[in-house]
């Protein structure tokens, strides 16, 4: 039973899949993807109305069961307690952390606002890392589980106009990779996903060109495939993997020049 949901996302009596950030567009697309496979879902988000809407859509799409939890991830202690409660009630074999906050420096600002830097650190690094640690320890005891962490291709580059976003996602990427190595001998797979641009309202709010823009539905399908394979790292679309190599290979002065040249005017 346990193995089949990990392979297929399908089961006659499936364990719920935990989806954090389900009220968002990528999270919603992931929820719908698994709903069409007949999964049971535990959807977490903050906006209760959007969560209710996506929960209804998932029921219509074929989810066998949908539970929702609305909470603010910035309250990290409450978040960890909620993970423990939900996992005690019914253990998760698969958890996808697709929450996140985007931001770029305001026009004319010298650096990003300190309070905003703190918010991004909490939502993009502290909360997802703590959730993954709590779930990882629990899954390791059961010798079964998959944790998927949605990072960003922004983590590959020291973006001077999105310092907090690039920095928090880079920290999350390193955490995910280390956790993967830590947990693999205990039967737990950790998959890091580093997407380029996905066509969501959050992405559209950020000015500038968005090459190789992907639909949330396509991103969700690719993430589900990588999850099924237990892939260590999905970088999508693939040219972002090439850009990562270029960033690493360039001498510092050339890389700094390029990143300054890519900075939108006024930022």
Nearer to ligand NAP, 100 or 171 (CB): 100
Helix (H) or strand (E) holding 17: strand 16-20
CA distances from 206 to 10, 16, 28, 202 (A): 37, 34, 20, 7
CB of 187 vs ligand NAP, minimal distance in Å: 26
Q: Which of 168, 192, 166 is nearest to 179 (CA)?
A: 192
Question: Do the beta carbons of residue 24 and residue 202 sit within 8 Å?
Answer: yes
Nearer to ligand NAP, 81 or 254 (CB): 81
CA distances from 84 to 17, 139, 162 (A): 15, 12, 33
Task: List interacting residues with ligand NAP (CB under 6 A).
Answer: 21, 23-27, 45-47, 50, 72-74, 98-102, 123, 150, 152, 195, 197-198, 200, 202-203
CB of 60 vs ligand NAP, minimal distance in Å: 20
Nearer to ligand NAP, 122 or 188 (CB): 122
CB of 12 vs ligand NAP, minimal distance in Å: 30
Q: For residue 47, how many other CB atoms are within 10 A of its CB?
A: 12
CB of 175 vs ligand NAP, minimal distance in Å: 14
Nearer to ligand NAP, 46 or 65 (CB): 46
């Amino acid at each position: 039973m346990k193995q089949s949901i990990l392979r297929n996302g399908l089961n006659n009596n499936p364990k719920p899949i935990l989806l954090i950030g389900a009220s968002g567009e990528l999270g919603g697309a992931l929820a719908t993807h698994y709903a069409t496979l007949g999964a049971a879902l535990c959807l977490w988000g903050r906006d209760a109305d959007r969560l209710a809407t996506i929960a209804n859509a998932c029921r219509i799409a074929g989810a066998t069961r949908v539970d929702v939890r609305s909470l603010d991830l910035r309250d990290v202690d409450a978040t960890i307690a909620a993970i423990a409660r939900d996992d005690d009630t019914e253990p998760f074999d698969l958890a996808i952390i697709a929450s996140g906050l985007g931001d770029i420096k305001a026009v004319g600002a010298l650096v990003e606002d300190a309070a905003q830097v703190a918010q991004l650190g909490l939502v993009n690094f502290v909360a997802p890392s703590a959730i993954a640690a709590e779930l990882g320890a629990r899954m390791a005891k059961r010798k079964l589980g998959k944790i998927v962490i949605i990072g960003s291709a922004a983590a590959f580059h020291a973006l001077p106009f999105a310092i907090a976003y690039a920095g928090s996602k880079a920290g999350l990427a390193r955490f995910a990779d280390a956790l993967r190595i830590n947990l693999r001998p205990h039967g737990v797979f950790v998959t890091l996903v580093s997407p380029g641009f996905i066509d969501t309202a959050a992405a559209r709010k950020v000015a500038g060109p968005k090459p190789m823009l992907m639909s949330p539905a396509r991103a969700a399908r690719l993430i589900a495939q990588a999850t099924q394979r237990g892939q260590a790292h999905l970088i999508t679309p693939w040219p972002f993997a090439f850009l990562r190599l270029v960033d690493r290979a360039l001498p510092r002065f050339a890389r700094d020049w390029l990143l300054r040249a890519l900075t939108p005017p006024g930022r």
